[in-house]
A = this chain, B = another copy of it.
Amino acid sequence: MVPHLVTALTGPINELEQRILDSMPAIERWFRLEWMEHTPPFYSSVDIRNAGFKLAPVDTNLFPGGWNNLTPQMLPLAVQSAMAAIEKICPEAKNLLLIPENHTRNTFYLSNVAQLQRIFNMAGLNVRIGSINPEVKEPTEIQLPTGEKVLLEPVIRSKRRLGLKDFDPCTILLNNDLSAGAPGILEDLHEQYLLPPLHAGWSVRRKSNHFRAYEELSKRFGKLLGIDPWLINPMFNKCGEVDFASGTGLDCLQTNVDALLTKVRRKYKEYGINEKPFVIVKADNGTYGMGIMTVRDVKDLEALNRKSKNKMGVIKDGQTVHDVIIQEGVLTNERMNEGVAEPVVYMMDRYVVGGFYRVHAERGTDENLNAPGSSFVPLAFAESSHLPQVGMRGGAAVPNRFYMYGVIARLAMVAASYELEATDPDAEIYE
């Protein structure tokens, strides 16, 4: 079950959605059984694309920012989930150290940090914020436009533990995706819980690992629902050793883009879909919406200009792109305030706690919306007093469209769990 939120799409329910709503008890049980065997990521957010004819996750973030976009009404769910997460991992916890990203001047990001501090404080922890930015040399209070204040304190590393002055946390929550690699200061902390683990950072993660795990899950889940897994799975290929600057590896990229476009075209034909297929070329370890390109025709790749090549070649924290994932593009047919929109679903532990729309007025339905100029529209709880019940149709009952998004987001979360198990340096504990 996920919150009953008002979504932008209000048209008739398509077959996929009806299938998902009708299978609710089976789906929930499926998730319950998965979580008996696997550990959910501590928290996560999933970008989802709803093309009408297909619905798929396109990115799964294991260090989600943007918690400040959730409405106050969603906070109790977030707090309850945070309590559940803490209870399982470290019930005796008193102090939690939150480690944010290093950009200390982005007040929008810092509002997210303040929101996380609030959530875990309400879950019953003393929360302080420890910066690993070497520029933060003393406690620095930052006033946010919302009236809130955030106090960044420099972390102090002892031989075995990380903390702040007069603050020894038993749990460390990372909200820093470690794109540039885990700093030494975070390594060998065997006495403290580090959440998520270091190998969830982008210096280790690969989108292709994630979507490979998701693909396998979508097959099993498709069998459960009796649907073609393609309806929920974005196909992908990958290329290693690509260097956009020198042109090395671009032949691999062309071959794979061409092959994937052909596969998508075949699927569109099978389902009688009159849309132009496209693929998204992304850095396999990219984040923050950097290093992403929409390709509608393999010829587009030949015509890449210097600017585009530079943009593709370098991502967050100045990391160079080598591995590239070519992902089937999924159109979004959601719109909000005249802008193209995609839902982002937030989860804590195994629970969906809320979501919002990422909206971009100047982007097309086949483009990445995680780019400068995007805005966020929180989803509200539905006002209707009639919630959907299996077996109830029509009448006053408003379908919980968000349920479907929550299901797909959780499927991506299970994939992330598999992915983290497979890349765990201490993997033997899972056998």
Judge whether A83 and B33 touch: CB under 8 Å.
Answer: no
Closest B-chain residue to A78, C-beta based? Answer: B1
Chain B neighbourhood of A1, CB < 8 A: 76, 79-80, 83, 122-124
Chain B neighbourhood of A382, CB < 8 A: 72
Judge whether B387 and A25 touch: CB under 8 Å.
Answer: no
- A4's partner among B4, B35, B75, B385 (CB-CB below 8 A) is B75
Interface magnitude class on chain A: 35 or more
Distance in angstroms from A2 CB to nearest chain B CB is 7
Closest B-chain residue to A96, C-beta based? Answer: B25
A396: Cβ under 8 A from any B Cβ:
yes
Judge whether B76 and A3 touch: CB under 8 Å.
Answer: yes
Complex interface bits, A55-83 against B, C-beta within 8 A gives 1, otherwise 0: 00000000000000000110111011101
How many copies of the polypeptide does the oligomer hold?
2
Complex interface bits, A79-116 against B, C-beta within 8 A gives 1, otherwise 0: 11101101100011110000000000000000000000
Distance, CA A75 to CA B76, complexed state (A): 12
Judge whether B77 and A387 touch: CB under 8 Å.
Answer: no
A118: Cβ under 8 A from any B Cβ:
yes
Judge whether A32 and B124 touch: CB under 8 Å.
Answer: yes
Chain B neighbourhood of A72, CB < 8 A: 4, 381-385, 387
Judge whether A381 and B73 touch: CB under 8 Å.
Answer: yes
Distance in angstroms from A263 CB to nearest chain B CB is 34
Distance in angstroms from A83 CB to nearest chain B CB is 6
Q: Mark out the residues of chain A between 229 and 258 whose CB falls within 8 Å of any chain B CB in the assembled complex.
A: none
Distance in angstroms from A224 CB to nearest chain B CB is 13
Judge whether B87 and A387 touch: CB under 8 Å.
Answer: no
A156: Cβ under 8 A from any B Cβ:
no
Closest B-chain residue to A94, C-beta based? Answer: B29
Judge whether A91 and B33 touch: CB under 8 Å.
Answer: yes
Complex interface bits, A336-351 against B, C-beta within 8 A gives 1, otherwise 0: 0000000000000001
